[in-house]
A and B are shown apart, each in its own frame.
Chain A
Amino acid sequence: MARPIHLDSVRKEYRSAGSVHVAVDDLTLSIPEGSFTTLVGPSGCGKTTTLRMIAGLETPTEGRLSFGDEDVTGQSPQDRNCAMVFQSIALYPHMTVRRNIGYGLKVQGVPKDERDRRIDEAAETLQITEQLEKMPAELSGGQQQRVALGSAFVQDPDVLLLDEPMSDLDAKLKAELRVEVQRLHQELDATVVYVTHDQTEAMTMSDQVILLNQGRLEQFAPPGELFDAPVSEYVARFIGTPSTNLLPATVAETDDGYALAGDGFGVLAPADRFADRVGDSITVGIRPQYLSADGGDYELTVIAGVVEQLGTEFVVHGHTPDGTDVDAVSTAFGAVEHGDELVVGFDPGDLFVFDADGRTICHGDALAGETPRQSP
């Protein structure tokens, strides 16, 4: 039965030779039962450590971890009804696929008939029935990963943990298995926690995304919210490809009110948020997809560097006249060449505004009300 997972001020540090490395710092969050939650972040942000603490393979240095009402902080991995799929796949090389999948059931003392029935069922779901009597070494990478998923599936766990299970697979297999994992989630009554450094996986698969930054929680929200309303510059940069463009600007007081003045633009800003920030350096973020070749309330000049074709769209990697890197994505950039000067437009509603520390001051919706004065 799926159970919610609560982390309460969890901290994990590693000590070695006198130095202390904090892998996870004061992490508090509740993962709803039955949800598909993804832990995402760059290498070394503590996501795998967090997952291993949930599995019981690491014990938190401080804080409390519970499944529903049950405190599991000090429980050994054997006593939690978790299943885990490892990055290294971790199939037992000396057992056939059938025995690999059934090992957990055997340990739990499930009789052989029942075991075989469940193995066959799992194998059918994952389309590995023909591989059941083979040894893991005879399987391809994708098949091995399916076996690992199958092992987790037959356990009927309360909590299913996946630690970057697809990082070693090629793009096509990844896409295939992504669907497989989601189907598994629908069939299982389990809370799924999935670790990845690949934000595409995080965005496409999950109900909830936990974005970590150096062991601390940066944002915990559904994927759409992470994309549209990042709480910080870090979130805005991490989520979405290409990364959000960051344009330096200052808050200025003008005749029309307040404006965010940058290289070639001055976006009107509401007084309630910016009146006390006049003169501050801020950063304006805009996603490459929201820079359009025509239209938009404001304009920005971009000098094109490299142009990449992505199917029907073109990605222009360029920079503004003062040297800030800017990427833009549109179907209309097909004819752009290196060195061309483009004028791209954007709407204030699509902007993010960050303060000097990288925290979000406001999202576009707060700016959208301030219409620029049209030149006659």
Chain B
Amino acid sequence: MALGEGAAGSVVPQRLQTRIKRIALVLVAALVAVFVTVPVYVMVAVAVQSPAAVFRGGDVNLLIDSLTLRNFRVLIEDTNTIQYFANSLIVTASSTVLSTALAVAAGYGLTRFEFTGKTVAARAVLFAYMFSPIVLAIPLYVIFFSLGLLNSYFALTMALTAISAPFTIWLMWQYFQTVPISLEESAWVRGASRTRTLWDVVLPVARPGYISAAIFSFAVAWNDFTMSRVVMSNDEMYTITVGASLFLDRVTIGWGETMAVSLLICIPPFLIAVFLQNYLLQGFNVGGLE
């Protein structure tokens, strides 16, 4: 067998391979981009034009040739959208904070302390993550009903945290394992207490990890429909996802307003993606989710 036979470049020249790889990459990226951007474009086009302009002549006219805030005005004047949006912000913020704090505490504990039942606890966390929200929804409904907590921010925050926490705990557990123990030990030897070390040394080093965890729990909470639908039955307490889904049942609300509310729903995740994307990638790399 000749030297180098069977190695890369023996059948197809190296340079051609590189070129094919690059072209394939561009093609796949373009395809994905089309699939993602077209619906978003349709949403924006319908949201920022008046229904009369969009549906003129019996067709759906998707070229944006006029701009109006009419749809948004209808939302604000005729519906509870602002209330829904506020509800969503409140429960999402509380659940994000709670889930991240829980993940940091549990992840640190699982990484740095030995205790009986540790493996069982860790497995239980992962197992809990396998449940779909709807499986948890009915038991949670029964629990919150018995406790008289239905239609409360507290109940929804707890329910949403129950969905996101298993994953965030697991993520932080993985992330803390990448923080060398010697960093902590060196702080202890210099006189810093365990708590102080956690604040001064561990958390700053683990920042990409807990930001990822926060982003994940934000996404779970913000996009949640199931839990909100089950826990909240009062119109005043609906989150934006549930509220928006009910618009279509109403005679006074059309596609224009529905797309406008969808656009509103997209804004917070978009802002987060823009400002925190680097952290998100770093955190998930460690979690083995490249």
What is A's interface to B at a CB cutoff of 8 Å? 55-57, 76-78, 80, 82-84, 86-88, 90, 92-94, 103-104, 107-108, 151, 155
Contact = CB atoms under 8 A, between A and B. Distances in A.
Contact of A76 (B183, B188, B190): B188
Q: Top 7 A-B pairs ranked by shortest CB distance?
A: A104-B190, A90-B182, A94-B204, A90-B186, A77-B188, A86-B182, A84-B189
A87 B190 CA distance: 16
Contact of B192 (A78, A80, A88, A93): A78
B123 interface: no
Residue among A55, A87, A94, A107 with max Cβ neighbours from chain B (10 Å) = A107
Given A78-B193, A155-B190, A103 B205 contact: no
B101 to A, nearest CB: 20
B111 to A, nearest CB: 17
Nearest to A154: B190
Contacts of B192: 78, 103, 107
Contacts of B180: 88, 90
A80 B207 CA distance: 30
**Which of B186, B201, B204, B205 has the most chain A CB atoms inside 10 A of its CB?**
B186
A90 B180 CA distance: 8
A104 B191 CA distance: 7
A78 B188 contact: yes
Nearest to B187: A103
B185 interface: yes
B112 interface: no
Contact of B186 (A56, A80, A84): A84
Given A103-B200, A107-B190, A108-B191, A77 B205 contact: no
Please classify how large the interface on chain B is, using the bins under 10, 10 to 19, 20 to 34, 35 or more: 10 to 19
6 contacts: A57-B188, A82-B189, A90-B185, A92-B204, A92-B205, A104-B191
Interface of B: 180, 182-183, 185-193, 196, 200-201, 204-205, 207
A55 B191 contact: no
B189 A83 contact: yes
Contacts of A107: 187, 190-192, 196
A214 to B, nearest CB: 25
B201 A92 contact: yes
A76 B190 CA distance: 11
Contacts of B188: 56-57, 76-78
Contacts of A78: 188-189, 191-193
A83 B182 CA distance: 13
Contacts of A56: 188-189
Nearest to B201: A92
Contact of B185 (A83, A86, A93): A86
A188 B186 CA distance: 19
A113 B196 CA distance: 22
A87 B191 CA distance: 19
Given A83-B189, A107-B190, 9 more contacts: A78-B189, A78-B191, A84-B185, A84-B186, A94-B204, A94-B205, A103-B190, A103-B200, A104-B190
A70 B207 CA distance: 40
Contacts of B204: 92, 94
Given A92-B201, A93-B205, A107-B196, A86 B186 contact: yes
B119 to A, nearest CB: 12
B42 to A, nearest CB: 44
A350 B182 CA distance: 45
Contacts of B200: 103
A88 B185 CA distance: 11
A86 B190 CA distance: 13
B48 to A, nearest CB: 43
B276 to A, nearest CB: 17
Contacts of B207: 94
Contacts of B183: 90, 92
B191 A88 contact: no
Nearest to A55: B189
B105 to A, nearest CB: 21
Contacts of A151: 186, 190
A107 B194 CA distance: 12
A68 B196 CA distance: 29
Contacts of B190: 83, 103-104, 107-108, 151, 155
B183, B185, B191, B207: residue with the most chain A Cβ atoms closer than 10 Å? B191
